[in-house]
Amino acid sequence: MSSSWTERQGQVGDLRHQSKEELQDLLLRQEKILSNKRLLQTLPDKGNKIKDFVEKVRSAIEERCEEERRQSLVSAARTELQSKYQQAFQQRAVSATSGASLQDKKHQDAASNPPQVRETLCVSVHVQDNSTLL
């Protein structure tokens, strides 16, 4: 069991597949190693590989943050667009309802008024409809 642990020790894998929290934990551990100056002096490269790896981890964390920021912007834009769509849809439904009631009123007035009055009424309603379109 300990041999499999020692085989895995030090193998981080692809940083792109790790979560932001995992990357931050990894960065914390690497910075802790870098803070041990005595240990760094004993290494053949004086800790240069660790320093390079820390920069890679920081870069990966920045990429994650940027990706999260982009996703939140897209989500906010999507929410705003849906809200505007809902408002437009509701306004259209209200307009359609009021337009239908106006048509019903025209038909009721036409049925109840004599022919001469009906013609003048239709003309005045037609003029009113044209003025609302402008």
Q: Where are the domains of the chain?
A: 14-133
Dist. CA 42–CA 55, nearest whole Å:
21
Q: How far lies 50's CA from each of 10, 14, 15, 16, 39, in Å?
A: 11, 16, 15, 18, 12
- pLDDT of amino acid 112: 59
Smallest CA-to-CA distance from 59 within 110, 89, 15 is with 15
- pLDDT of amino acid 95: 79
Mean pLDDT per block of 10 residues along the chain (134 residues) reads 46 82 94 94 93 94 94 94 90 75 60 52 48 48
- pLDDT of amino acid 47: 92
Please give the DSSP secondary-structure letter assigned to residue 17: G
- pLDDT of amino acid 23: 93
Smallest CA-to-CA distance from 106 within 91, 95, 92, 120 is with 120
Q: Give tens-digit pLDDT for 71-108.
A: 999 999 999 999 999 998 888 888 777 665 656 666 66
pTM for the complete prediction?
Answer: 0.55
Residue 23 CB: number of other CB atoms within 10 A? Answer: 22
